Amino acid sequence: MSKINDTYDKTISKSYDCSLNQEIFSVTRSSCLEQIKEIYDKYQPIKTLDLGVGDGQYIEKLSKYYTNIEAHGIDSSSEMLKKALYKESFNGVKGKIEESGKYFKHRYFDLINAHFICCYVGLDEIFKLSDNLLNKDGVISLCTSTHDSWSKIQAHMKNHQGSNNTIRKLLFKYTNYISYNNNQSPRSHEEIVSNAESHDYSMIMCKKCTIRQTLHSVDEALAFFIKGSWGAHSYRLPYWMLQLLTKHAFSDIEFPFTDNHKISICTFKKNREI
Ligand SMILES: C[S@@+](CC[C@H](N)C(=O)[O-])C[C@H]1O[C@@H](n2cnc3c(N)ncnc32)[C@H](O)[C@@H]1O
C-alpha cells in the first residue's frame, strides 16, 4: 500500500468533506459541468471515467444532469471509493490511475475527469493515459490548484528559514521538500497550457478562478488544512504532526487570515485524428 493510499484510507476518508470548502468545490464543480454542457447535448449517453474519483461528488452532479450517463471511476483508496459506491449504477474500480489501461476499454470514453489529482499523478501521466482511453472526439476535464496558490502563507513559511527556532526551521525544510519534490501540481496556469500542447492537446475551454479563503482561527486553519483543500494530506504526516505544523505556521499570523487559492478549470481535446 502506498503512503498516499494509506493516508486516504486511514485519515482523509474519515473527514473528507467538500462541504467544508463549499465555495471552492461548488465553484469548480459547476464550472466543470458548464464546460461539458457546451460540448455534449443533455441526452447523449456520455461514457465518462473519473480518475481519482474520491467520494464521487462530481460524478453525482454529472449524473443529475446527464441522467443516462455511463459512469466509471478509479481510486486507489478503498475507503474513499466506498463513499462513491453507494451511487447506483456507478462502476468504481479500486486501482492506480497510472494503471487505468488495465481496467478500462481502449479508447472507450467520451469524457475523462481529472479533478484535484495533479498533485499525485502529474499532467504528463494524465495526458498520456488519456490517449489510450479517450475515443476520437473525447475530451479531458481538468481541474487543479497550482503552486501559485496560497502565496501569502508560502511567503510566510519562507520566513521560517531564517528563524532561530528549530521547529520552525524544520517546518520550512519539510514543507519546501514536500511542495517541490513530491507535489506534482503544475507551477502555474501557463505550465498547464504548455504541457497540454506538448502532448498535442488543445485547450478548448478554460476558466481561471481565484478564490479568497478567510480563516478565523488556528482551529479553522487546521480543519481546512486537513480536510482536503490545502494539500496537507500530501504531507503524509500523522494528525498530531499536522496539528503541530499548522499551529506553528499560524502562530504569528493575525486572524482573520485571508489568502488566495488559484484553480484552473480546463477542457482539452486531442489535436490529431486518433
Ligand atoms: C483530492 S482527492 C480528489 C477527489 C475527487 N476527484 C474530487 O474532485 O473531489 C484525490 C483522490 O485521488 C486518489 N488518488 C491519489 N493518487 C492516486 C493514484 N495514483 N491512483 C488512484 N487514485 C489516487 C485519492 O485516493 C483521492 O480519493
Which is more confidently placed, 107 or 259? 107
**Separation of CA 80 and ligand 1 centre (Å):** 8
Residue 231, domain member (yes or no): no
Higher model confidence: residue 102 or residue 153? Answer: 102
Mean pLDDT computed over every residue of the chain: 84
State whether residue 211 is helix, strand or coil.
strand
Q: What is the pTM of this model?
A: 0.88
Mutate to test the pocket of ligand 1, among 93, 120, 229 (most ligand atoms within 8 A of CB): 120
Question: Does residue 174 fall inside a structural domain?
Answer: no
Helix H or strand E encompassing 222? helix 218-226
What long-range pairs does 155-159 form, CB within 8 A, spacing at least 24? Answer: 156/249, 156/253, 157/249
How much is the pLDDT for 86? 73
Distance (Å, whole) CA 20 – CA 271: 38
Residue 256 alpha carbon to ligand 1 centre in Å: 30
pLDDT computed for residue 1 by the predictor:
58
Domains held by the chain: number: 1
CA 131, CA 99: separation in Å to the nearest integer?
13
Q: What is the pLDDT of residues 228-262, one digit of tens each?
A: 555 555 556 677 777 777 777 777 788 998 988 88
Tell me whether residue 240 is in a domain: no
Does residue 227 lie in a domain region? no
Average pLDDT value for residue range 105-115: 97
Q: How far does CA 85 lie from the centroid of its chain? A: 19
Confidence category of residue 134, pLDDT binned at 50, 70, 90: very high
Report CA(52)–ligand 1 centroid distance (Å): 3
Domain range enclosing 40? 2-149+184-214+261-270
pLDDT of residue 240: 79
Instruction: Look at residue 88 and tell me if it is in a domain.
Output: yes
Is 251 part of any domain? no
Pocket around ligand 1: residues whose beta carbon is below 6 Å from it? 4, 8, 52-54, 57-58, 74-77, 80, 96-98, 115-117, 120-121, 228
* CATH of residue 52: 3.40.50.150
- Integer Cα distance of 205 and 170 in angstroms: 41
Judging by beta carbons within 10 Å of its beta carbon (0-12, 13-18, 19+), is residue 181 exposed, middle or buried? exposed
Answer with the residue of higher pLDDT: 195 or 273: 195
Kindly state whether residue 229 falls inside one of the protein's structural domains: no
The answer to whether 185 and 119 are in contact (CB under 8 A) is yes
Instruction: Please check the confidence at residue 66 and state whether its pLDDT lies above 90.
Output: yes
CA distances for 119 relative to 28, 159, 184, 185, 218, angstroms: 17, 24, 4, 4, 25
Whether 73 shows a pLDDT value over 80: the answer reads yes
Section 114-142 average pLDDT: 95
pLDDT in tens, 30-62: 999 999 999 998 777 799 999 999 989 899 999
Judge residue 221's burial from the number of C-beta atoms within 10 Å of its C-beta, 0-12 exposed, 13-18 middle, 19 or more buried.
buried
Least confident of 46-60, 192-206, 219-233: 219-233
- Strand partners of residue 34: none
**Helix 189-198 vs helix 123-133: angle between axes, to the nearest 10 degrees?**
40
> Tens digits of per-residue pLDDT, 79-99?
999 988 877 789 999 999 999
Q: Is residue 104 part of a domain?
A: yes
Closest CA to 32 of 8, 57, 15: 57
Pairing of strands 109-115, 134-145: parallel
Q: Which amino acid is at 248?
A: H
Do the beta carbons of residue 198 and residue 230 sit within 8 Å?
no
Predicted local confidence at residue 233, as pLDDT: 52
